């Protein structure tokens, strides 16, 4: 997704408002999970999210999402948010976040998601690491 930061997206300091960046993060991750699973999804969890660098009014925001791993009805999606200067094209990383989405059908019941087909070592590494993070999330949920 690509977005231009307008004044209505900004805080009192003229930087993109954190809640707005979170909404874009959730939206882009949600579209990614819907594309993969072929239907509606809901956000089940957002892992720790940090804002590394600000984005100013007038800058471009580039949001990239990818499915790291699929489970039974849920998926881990990684979202990267970049600021981009419209004059120089220079990019800087603003946010890295991981979200869990659950696929639901028209009745709101959970539905299974198609498995990922890893194509290289990096894909396999991402799947394995996502599996570890899922175990931690579910353990936290139980506590």
Angle at 133 between CA 131 and CA 135, to 5 degrees: 70
Alpha helices in 1-143 (DSSP H): 18-37, 121-142
Whether 90 and 135 have beta carbons less than 8 Å apart is answered as: no
Whether 111 and 41 have beta carbons less than 8 Å apart is answered as: no
CB of 74 to ligand COA, least distance (A): 3
Size of the site for ligand COA (CB under 6 A): 14
Neighbours of 38 (CB within 10 A): 10
The only residue of 106, 117, 122, 141 in contact with ligand COA, by rule CB under 6 A: 141
The only residue of 99, 102, 116, 130 in contact with ligand COA, by rule CB under 6 A: 102
CB of 111 to ligand COA, least distance (A): 10
Interaction of residue 35 with ligand COA, rule CB under 6 A: no
Q: Which of residues 52-81 bind ligand COA (CB under 6 A)?
A: 71-74
Interaction of residue 131 with ligand COA, rule CB under 6 A: no
Of the two residues 27 and 57, which places its CB atom closer to ligand COA in the complex? 27
d(CA 75, CA 58): 34
Whether 100 and 45 have beta carbons less than 8 Å apart is answered as: yes
The only residue of 67, 78, 100, 116 in contact with ligand COA, by rule CB under 6 A: 100
Residues of this chain that interact with ligand COA (CB under 6 A) are 42-45, 71-74, 100, 102, 110, 137-138, 141
């Amino acid at each position: 997704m690509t977005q231009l930061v307008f004044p209505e997206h900004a805080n009192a300091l003229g930087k993109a408002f954190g809640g707005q960046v979170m909404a874009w993060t959730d939206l882009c991750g949600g579209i990614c999970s819907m594309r993969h699973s072929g239907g509606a999804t809901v956000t089940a969890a957002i892992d720790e999210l940090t804002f590394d660098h600000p984005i100013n009014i007038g800058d471009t925001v580039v949001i990239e999402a990818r499915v790291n791993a699929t489970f039974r009805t849920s998926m881990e999606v990684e979202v990267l948010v970049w600021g981009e200067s419209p004059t120089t094209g220079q990019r800087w990383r603003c946010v890295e976040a991981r979200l869990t989405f659950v696929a639901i059908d028209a009745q709101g019941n959970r539905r299974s998601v198609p498995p990922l087909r890893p194509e290289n070592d990096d894909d396999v590494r991402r799947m394995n690491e996502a599996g570890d993070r899922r175990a931690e999330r579910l353990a936290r949920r139980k506590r």
